[in-house]
Structure 1
């Protein structure tokens, strides 16, 4: 149940009062950040999720009259967004893995070899363009198949740093693939289906 003071803020917020929103933001930002940080363990991603949570609250402010507990409401939004973020990252990682398996699993025609070569060239270029430390971590993971813990021990950095470096590497490579590779990838998939 909302406190009397909080109920007042929520009522003002539901009518579009920016001051009420600011007060609720000040009250809940830090606790929400701690809650999401406990799940994700990544400061930047947590900040994005908490910010997105407040954007959702603002966008849905006219429906707040039906909310029994604002605290439960805002925490459920943050929880949903954190879980969605986790699912999306798993899908992206699985997508790249599936794509690689798909490309490696089939006998390839000359056209397919050319397209695969182009994709590999794009990937190699992007890996070469990574910052030196990020590239080193990425190559130890992908080429030498070292675990996060083994890489951390070898480079004298934390497991979390290794995880973040690999995640950032994949994001950068994926962005480039999304820009350059869709037509090549589509052509390759069409050739495979013939």
Structure 2
């Protein structure tokens, strides 16, 4: 086993023990590599940035149970690649769905009921966000309302990029837990809102 793989295994063990420092080390070590890899595949900066952040979010959220049988670097690159493939698939499915809606109802692509559900969903999200701690709320709004990058948020809030990452990981986790009881239709409306995921 190479020195690099041994080093990565030690980092993973530390993460499983809730080490913020180990997570920050992995984040700083691999973020740029993964972003450049994603850009070569997709070449859409905002979407690739969001995909890379999702990979790190997933790593942290699943840290207790995750099993990596390859190198950490390979695992992270595979995760980015998998999400990019899904991005292509979901875009294709969404376009086909919208084409079908337009063919069925040329004058409108969404029903009144769906509009009401979407409005209710937005109100629910706003209510959840208002309960966030001040710093988490600020980071969330800068990201999703203002569209700032992680590094820009770090500059505005005068904190590290990894701290921004932690605020947004917690915000997304809290939102998903709070929204679990919403209807499937509302959930589908949420999936159409790029501000919820892309970061």
TM normalised by structure 1 equals 0.51
Q: CA RMSD in A?
A: 2.5
The structure richer in helix per residue is: 1
Q: For residue 140 of structure 1, what is the aligned residue in structure 2?
A: none
Superposed displacement of residue 102, structure 1 = 2.6
**Residues matched between the structures, number:** 111
Q: For residue 87 of structure 2, what is the aligned residue in structure 1?
A: 85
Query: Deviation digits for residues 37-64 of structure 1, max 9, x if unmatched?
Result: 1111110001000000100111111234
Q: For residue 8 of structure 2, what is the aligned residue in structure 1?
A: 6
Superposed displacement of residue 65, structure 1 = 5.0
Separation of aligned partners in 1, 2:86 and 2:94: 12
Superposed displacement of residue 66, structure 1 = 4.6
Asked if 2 retains the 8 angstrom alpha-carbon contact of 1:21 and 1:58, the reply is yes
Separation of aligned partners in 2, 1:71 and 1:64: 14
Asked if 1 retains the 8 angstrom alpha-carbon contact of 2:42 and 2:48, the reply is yes
Structure 1 gap ranges (5+): 105-115, 123-177, 180-194
Superposed displacement of residue 7, structure 1 = 2.0
Runs of 4+ displaced beyond 4 Å: none
Q: Which has the higher contact order (CA 8 A, sep 6+)?
A: 2
Superposed displacement of residue 9, structure 1 = 1.1
Superposed displacement of residue 68, structure 1 = 3.2
Query: Deviation digits for residues 70-103 of structure 1, max 9, x if unmatched?
Result: 1111111111111112211111111111112233
Q: For residue 99 of structure 1, what is the aligned residue in structure 2?
A: 101
Pair 1:100–1:15, CA change in 2 (3 A):
same
TM normalised by structure 2 equals 0.50
Q: Which has the larger radius of gyration?
A: 1
